[in-house]
Structure 1
Amino acid sequence: MSALRKSAESAAGTDTGLDAHLVVDRGTFRLDLRLEAAAGEVVALLGPNGAGKSTALRALAGLTALTGGSLRLDGTVLEEAAGRRVPPEGRPVGVIFQDYLLFPHLTALENVAFGPRCHGVPKREARALAADLLDRMGLADHAGVKPRRLSGGQAQRVALARALATEPRLLLLDEPLAALDARARLDVRAELRRHLAAFEAVAVLVTHDPLDAMVLADRLVVIEHGEVVQQGTPAEIARRPRTDYIARLVGLNLYQGEASAHTVQVSPGLTLTTTESLTGPAFVAFPPSAVTLSTTRPTTSARNAWPARITGMESHGDQIRVALTSTADGLPLAADLTTVSVAELALEPGAEVWAELKATQTHAYPA
């Protein structure tokens, strides 16, 4: 066990994991986030731009001071708003930024050895530790290479090795795959998942990409306007989104209304039939692929049909994502159609159509 790990475990005592209440006031914006995570858990922070994700990450790293709340890691107080505050360099925290921020004048080996050297580890020991980490990352042959000659995936792995070299008790990842192209992203995501699965401390991931979050994280915490709006496992979040942002994130249409038996009144002009029987405030979710469009009023057995106007169209994988609004109340709707269907129906922005949805394709749950 290295001196760094001994020091961290001695300070931690018997408690492990993250226990944080992050309060940061910035004029018109306020972050008020409670965040707990067990050792070995990967938590993803998701939210729209301006939700407070980056502020939370900076607060955890010690780069932004708390104006309220506290931060404990492995039972040790790292910060209290009106008391103790451990500076960034004194925290057992590793950070991977989206552009990796590798030192351009240092080799991969020297980049990884930099952190331990700053913590007083002798040069030979630091270089041996760095060489071992690079070998585990599959980069033993690139130890003497400088960042400009590394691919995006290789640079990401060097950045991960550098963050792990100080044996952090909290690993922060800020959009770690954002700088990669689609092809490299697939491979590096799989590698990162493997390394995070073996990480024994807490990892907090900030990302805009729902796939990154679903693949890499054990638990998702969604924040909007500086507060948590929903948290749970990826499956729970995908199954029961509770805000429009989350529904779009997981690719669902989401309406909220008042349930009575097998119907949910979403608005005065729209009542949806569902297979679930509920009473009281409820959500109704359904995928865009469940929606069919026609230019005349449907005569099929589908229980749900309402008029809508097309507001936009764009390619979405091998289909066309059609954006619509209900003509009765302006509620938004997304439908996925094949290019053949779009051509046969002669759909275009501004066209008025009928949206159709089978009750069996909906999922209703309490709001």
Structure 2
Amino acid sequence: MSLDAHLVVDRGGFRLDVRLAIDNGEVVALLGPNGAGKTTALRALAGLQELSAGHITLGGEALHQTPPERRPIGVVFQDYLLFPHLSALDNVAFGPRRHGVGRHAARERAAGWLDRVGLSGYTNRKPRQLSGGQAQRVALARALAVEPALLLLDEPLAALDARTRLDTRTELHRHLAEHPGATLLVTHDPLDALVLADRLVIVEDGRVVQEGDAATITAQPRTDYVARLVGLNLYRGHATGHTVTLRDGFTLTATDRLDGDAFVAFPPSAVALHPHQPDGSPRNTWPATIAGIQRHGDNLRVQLDGPIVVAADITPAAAAHLHLAPGQTVWAAVKATETRAYPAG
């Protein structure tokens, strides 16, 4: 294990208490809503935020009392924080120089890294002469040039436009796959996490609420935030056989048989809308009121109020057929075969 950390930070009324373990060659994404503690965790690892308690061990060496400049860590900040008065080459050479590498050797190493990120022709350009994607690659090269045991990425694609983000994400994936050390990616974007990371750690209110590979987390979310992240409707209740009774008494039928506290989840695409109570196979039906309608890819995302709050995805043709409008009453239906139930404990 390269990184073994227990990060405890008390700041005002907020307390971060997170354990992180990352192997060499592994990319872990730290996900969570704004204010969850993601950036605080990154700053604590980098030495920019003092720990209230806990520890940071990297490659078997305790780092929590080591000054930031002496930690074998590379950081790519959200806004890149390139030195505006230095060329791209000297920005990348800065880290090795701080680590005692001679000027000529540091510049040679920097030139090599700029070549690896596809910027060999940009060595003399200042940050203001670079596009957003180019600046991001210079920042990545600067972080990797110190040959870090731990690479920290703070929302590395957030400042880019959609097209540049797509291309840069692909490039970043390649460089992270080649990085021999541990990598922590802090992001609020599930796509960045799913594409770039081997494992996800979800934090809310300064605590880890779920962790695992993408398949596990997307299949069995355990909080409303994670459910929204992976695009599922999620409810908690008590299961008896195939029936899950929610806290307000509403029941959902699932194919999975369980007994005890349980989650039940289904995708918005599994929700069918009808003008009248449907007959036939759907075993979960209830009256609902349309709270809102918005575009969602090629479909429409319909927000429903009623005994449960639900998101439903339907085609524009179906919406036109139903003459949907906010405030309208419809019947929602979900087949039991479309739901998943799993233990909440």
Q: Provide the TM-score with structure 2 as the length reference.
A: 0.97
Give the AA of the match of 1:364: A
Per the alignment, residue 245 of structure 1 pairs with: 225
Deviation at 1:300, TM superposition (A): 3.1
Deviation at 1:97, TM superposition (A): 0.9
Aligned length: 344
Q: Secondary structure at the match of 1:203?
A: strand
Q: Deviations over 1:206-261 (max 9, x none)?
A: 10100000111111010111111100001111011000000000011111111111
Per the alignment, residue 329 of structure 2 pairs with: 352
**Superposition RMSD in Å:** 1.1
Per the alignment, residue 41 of structure 2 pairs with: 56
Is 2:118 the partner of 1:138? Answer: yes
Q: Write the distance in 1 (CA, Å) between the matches of 2:275 and 2:117.
A: 56
Per the alignment, residue 265 of structure 1 pairs with: 245
Is 2:233 the partner of 1:256? Answer: no
Per the alignment, residue 31 of structure 1 pairs with: 16
Q: Write the distance in 1 (CA, Å) between the matches of 2:202 and 2:107.
A: 39
Q: Write the distance in 2 (CA, Å) between the matches of 1:274 and 1:146.
A: 59
Aligned ranges 1:18-167 → 2 under 5 Å: 18-79=3-64, 85-167=65-147
Q: Write the distance in 2 (CA, Å) between the matches of 1:255 and 1:87.
A: 46
* Structure 2 stretches lacking a partner, 5+ long: none
Per the alignment, residue 196 of structure 1 pairs with: 176
Is 2:343 the partner of 1:366? Answer: yes
1:287 corresponds, among 255, 267, 288, to 267
Q: Percent identity?
A: 65
Q: Write the distance in 1 (CA, Å) between the matches of 2:32 and 2:289.
A: 29
Deviation at 1:188, TM superposition (A): 0.8
Give the AA of the match of 1:193: H
Per the alignment, residue 311 of structure 2 pairs with: 334
Q: Write the distance in 1 (CA, Å) between the matches of 2:90 and 2:163.
A: 28
Q: Deviations over 1:54-111 (max 9, x none)?
A: 11111111111001111111111111xxxxx111111111110111111122221111
1:313 corresponds, among 275, 289, 293, to 293
Per the alignment, residue 163 of structure 2 pairs with: 183
CA contact (8 A) 1:270 1:306 kept: no
Q: Write the distance in 2 (CA, Å) between the matches of 1:68 and 1:77.
A: 13
CA contact (8 A) 1:21 1:70 kept: yes
Per the alignment, residue 8 of structure 1 pairs with: none
CA contact (8 A) 1:46 1:206 kept: yes
Q: Secondary structure at the match of 1:315?
A: strand
Q: Write the distance in 1 (CA, Å) between the matches of 2:311 and 2:185.
A: 29
Q: Write the distance in 2 (CA, Å) between the matches of 1:17 and 1:228.
A: 20
Q: Secondary structure at the match of 2:157?
A: coil
* Structure 1 stretches lacking a partner, 5+ long: 1-15, 80-84
Q: Deviations over 1:239-295 (max 9, x none)?
A: 110000000000111111111111211244421111111111111111101111122
Q: Write the distance in 1 (CA, Å) between the matches of 2:47 and 2:293.
A: 44
Per the alignment, residue 283 of structure 2 pairs with: 303
Q: Write the distance in 2 (CA, Å) between the matches of 1:268 and 1:99.
A: 46
Deviation at 1:198, TM superposition (A): 0.9
Moved over 3 A (4+): none
Deviation at 1:324, TM superposition (A): 1.3
Q: Secondary structure at the match of 1:100?
A: coil
Q: Write the distance in 2 (CA, Å) between the matches of 1:155 and 1:317.
A: 30
Q: Deviations over 1:283-312 (max 9, x none)?
A: 111110111112211123111111111112
Q: Write the distance in 2 (CA, Å) between the matches of 1:45 and 1:325.
A: 32
Q: Write the distance in 1 (CA, Å) between the matches of 2:180 and 2:165.
A: 24
2:257 corresponds, among 268, 277, 293, to 277
Per the alignment, residue 192 of structure 2 pairs with: 212
Deviation at 1:26, TM superposition (A): 1.2
Q: Write the distance in 2 (CA, Å) between the matches of 1:49 and 1:180.
A: 19
